[in-house]
A and B are shown apart, each in its own frame.
Chain A
Amino acid sequence: EAQVTQNPRYLITVTGKKLTVTCSQNMNHEYMSWYRQDPGLGLRQIYYSMNVEVTDKGDVPEGYKVSRKEKRNFPLILESPSPNQTSLYFCASSLGVSSFTEAFFGQGTRLTVV
């Protein structure tokens, strides 16, 4: 089954404690990205990757890091989480930049930073 898998689904952590949200897709997609969803703001892009070892900032990258060492994985790293990073996070993948299909989204990760 084609899917994007995020883990964990729910996470409560304390300010400053490094965490990683994993994202994996099994569709051999080139393009992957991370979004955060906040009430009244919709979804905003954090980082994106057009292929292995190619990543760049989206609209709200501050406080986040990513890596793309393998095509299928695109983890989101919060080195020192703060309460304003409490949000619902989505990983997405799509076939490629030049043949844009719909984005497939993971199930979401609800992060609470206290």
Chain B
Amino acid sequence: AQKVTQAQTEISVVEKEDVTLDCVYETRDTTYYLFWYKQPPSGELVFLIRRNSFDEQNEISGRYSWNFQKSTSSFNFTITASQVVDSAVYFCALSKRDYTGANSKLTFGKGITLSVRP
């Protein structure tokens, strides 16, 4: 069975602080995908990143960076110099990569509510 744990439920920071959102996953598959989604107050789900299990390179996109470590089954997300517009709920998700036609559902963590204060 797959599981995603986002132990932090709510984080509050002041604008311009750096913040790291933790994600730990469990899977028996050797091939899988990890995702981060952002859910702003308006409610939609915004895709941020996809990482496959064979690519452990860290990724940086502007103020966002992701650290994938298979050894600790973690896929952490860091926002540098946070801004008020970063206030949202952030979900980490896991999907197995399956060529057999089985359900490729996303298993989500419970989400982290990030509040960035001016």
- Measured CB to CB, the nearest residue on chain B to A88 is B43
Give complex CA distance A92, B95 in Å: 14
Asked if B91 contacts A97 (CB within 8 A), the reply is: no
Produce 1/0 per residue, A66-108, CB < 8 A to B: 0000000000000000000000101010100110111111011
Q: How large is the interface on B (under 10, 10 to 19, 20 to 34, 35 or more residues)?
A: 20 to 34
Task: List the B residue with the shortest CB-CB distance to A57.
Answer: B103
Give the A-B pair count, Cβ closer than 8 A.
Answer: 62
Min CB–CB distance B36 → chain A (angstroms): 10
User: Which one, B43, B44, B47, B110, contacts A42 given CB within 8 A?
Assistant: B110
Q: Do B47 and A31 touch across chains, with their CB atoms under 8 A apart?
A: no
Shortest CB distance A74–B (Å)? 14
- Judge whether A108 and B44 touch: CB under 8 Å: yes
Q: Which residues of B in the span 22-43 have a Cβ within 8 Å of any Cβ on A?
A: 33, 35, 37, 43
Instruction: Flag whether B106 is at the interface (Cβ < 8 A).
Output: yes
A interface residues, Cβ below 8 angstroms from B: 31, 33, 35, 40-45, 48, 50, 56, 58-59, 88, 90, 92, 94, 97-98, 100-105, 107-108, 110
